[in-house]
């Protein structure tokens, strides 16, 4: 479509050029102008969860194909209200704008925050949130009521913790966890969380095929999105029917004394009882090669922390605990590089203090 509907008002490319907007909407209008320009591609930034965010040029045609796939899968069409509550600096926010343009959706804009539904009079039809936004929303009765009225909710940007998934299981609308990354132009697979169709397996969207390398890393083949098959850093298993389940990242495997600990698996075990921020990382160790380190938010009670650790297999238990805020990227994901450096710095500080 050659227009975008923002908060109920339609703008053609020429109208966007001089349209007044609030500071909160400035990034949306700026990106819409870029989209309607003569350039064949736009610049996006990676999330930075395992390294510094880096820019990359992506084809508008491929972004259009991704947006159309999502609209078809979720049944989104002209006039559908879609809430944009993520920064437009990253792919998740940009793709919401593209979906609005190609699908004729009515894009409702709010300032990105942990409470995106706060202040809304009625529930949008379609919302994309991070797990942190969903959790904060569920903690507020008025916002939880609005979330129950959302017909299509997709959750991306990080894993959905078991306790959060349990709260969403009975939601009347459709709720999905998504799998994707900047390189795949947002999600390429969905996993139903709500209702009788809830599953632990991700189902690739039409046109997307998956396979595994010999070492178990997930490979995505989506010619309409990526020119070549993409070997990810995610470790996965398949069910023989084209579906998959992610078990962790190849670069998050901790080799401690010859025992390989997948950080995400240990975190999933701890998440059953810990409901404040934490993460598993590592530091160099003269004896074990690498030592498991738990970074835990200071708000977690010591007794709860110890009880959670006791649930871990013996060799997965941390050799050290760092009481600090978990480092996050700009998109709210655990910053794995910063977490590892924090574990190293705290260890060095502890050694220095004990001299």
Pairing of strands 4-6, 186-192: unpaired
Mean pLDDT taken over the chain: 90
Supply the pLDDT for residue 314: 85
Q: How confident is the model at residue 324 (pLDDT cuts 50, 70, 90)?
A: very high
pLDDT in tens, 298-318: 999 999 999 999 999 888 999
Q: Residue 132 is inside which H or E element, if any?
A: helix 131-138
pLDDT in tens, 260-297: 888 988 998 998 889 889 999 999 987 788 899 999 99
Supply the pLDDT for residue 283: 93
Beta bridge partner(s), residue 66: none
List the one residue out of 158, 19, 16, 224 whose CA is nearest residue 100. Answer: 16
Averaged over 76-86, what is the pLDDT? 96
Supply the pLDDT for residue 354: 42
Say what percent of the chain tops pLDDT 70: 95
Supply the pLDDT for residue 64: 97
Would the pTM of this model clear 0.95, i.e. be above it? Answer: no
Any idea where the domains of the chain sit in the sequence?
4-206+234-247, 257-353
Task: Collect all residues with Cβ–Cβ distance below 8 Å to 133 and sequence separation of at least 6.
Answer: 85, 113, 114, 115, 116
Averaged over 227-238, what is the pLDDT? 93
List the one residue out of 37, 21, 38, 40 whose CA is nearest residue 29. Answer: 21
Instruction: Assess whether pLDDT exceeds 50 at residue 351.
Output: no
Supply the pLDDT for residue 51: 52
Instruction: Assess whether pLDDT exceeds 80 at residue 6.
Output: yes
Instruction: Assess whether pLDDT exceeds 60 at residue 178.
Output: yes
CA dist 4 to 74, 124, 128, 313, Å? 19, 17, 18, 53
Supply the pLDDT for residue 349: 62
pLDDT in tens, 107-122: 999 999 999 999 899 9
Averaged over 29-44, what is the pLDDT? 94
Instruction: Assess whether pLDDT exceeds 90 at residue 331.
Output: no
What CATH class is the domain 4-206+234-247? alpha beta
Instruction: Assess whether pLDDT exceeds 50 at residue 24.
Output: yes
Supply the pLDDT for residue 288: 81
Task: Collect all residues with Cβ–Cβ distance below 8 Å to 293 and sequence separation of at least 6.
Answer: 280, 281, 282, 283, 318, 319, 320, 321, 322, 343, 347
Averaged over 132-148, what is the pLDDT? 95
If one looks up domain 257-353 in CATH, what number appears?
A: 3.30.300.30
Domains 4-206+234-247 and 257-353 share a fold: no
The total number of residues shown for the chain amounts to 355
Supply the pLDDT for residue 350: 55
Instruction: Assess whether pLDDT exceeds 50 at residue 322.
Output: yes
């Amino acid at each position: 479509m050659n227009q975008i509907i923002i908060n109920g008002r339609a703008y053609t490319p020429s109208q966007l050029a001089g349209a007044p907007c609030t500071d909160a909407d400035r990034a949306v209008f700026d990106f819409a102008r870029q989209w309607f320009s003569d350039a064949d591609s736009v610049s996006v930034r990676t999330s930075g969860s395992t390294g510094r965010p880096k820019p990359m040029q992506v084809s508008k045609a491929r972004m259009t194909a991704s947006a159309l796939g999502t609209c078809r899968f979720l049944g989104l069409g002209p006039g559908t209200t879609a809430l944009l509550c993520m920064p437009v600096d990253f792919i998740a926010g940009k793709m919401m704008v593209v979906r609005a343009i190609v699908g004729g959706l009515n894009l409702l804009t709010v300032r990105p925050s942990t409470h995106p539904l706060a202040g809304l009079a009625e529930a949008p039809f379609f919302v994309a949130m991070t797990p942190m936004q969903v959790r904060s929303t569920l903690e507020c009765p008025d916002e939880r009521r609005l979330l129950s009225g959302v017909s299509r909710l997709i959750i991306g940007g990080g894993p959905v913790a078991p306790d959060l998934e349990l709260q969403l299981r009975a939601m009347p609308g459709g709720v999905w966890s998504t799998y994707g990354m900047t390189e795949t132009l947002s999600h390429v697979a969905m996993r139903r969380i709500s209702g009788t169709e809830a599953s632990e397996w991700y189902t690739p969207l039409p046109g997307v095929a998956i396979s595994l390398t010999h070492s178990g890393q997930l490979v995505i083949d989506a010619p309409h999105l990526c020119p070549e098959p993409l070997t990810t850093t995610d470790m996965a298993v398949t069910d023989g029917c084209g579906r998959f389940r992610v078990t962790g990242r190849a670069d998050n495997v901790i080799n401690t004394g010859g025992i390989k600990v997948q950080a995400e698996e240990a975190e999933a075990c701890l998440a059953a009882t810990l409901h404040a921020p934490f993460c598993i990382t590592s530091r160099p160790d003269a004896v074990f090669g690498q030592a498991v380190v738990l970074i835990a938010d200071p708000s977690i009670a010591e007794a709860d922390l110890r009880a959670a650790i006791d649930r871990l297999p013996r060799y997965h238990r941390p050799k050290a605990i760092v009481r600090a805020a978990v480092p996050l990227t700009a998109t709210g994901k655990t910053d794995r590089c910063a977490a590892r450096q924090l574990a190293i710095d705290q260890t060095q500080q502890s050694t220095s203090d004990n001299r």
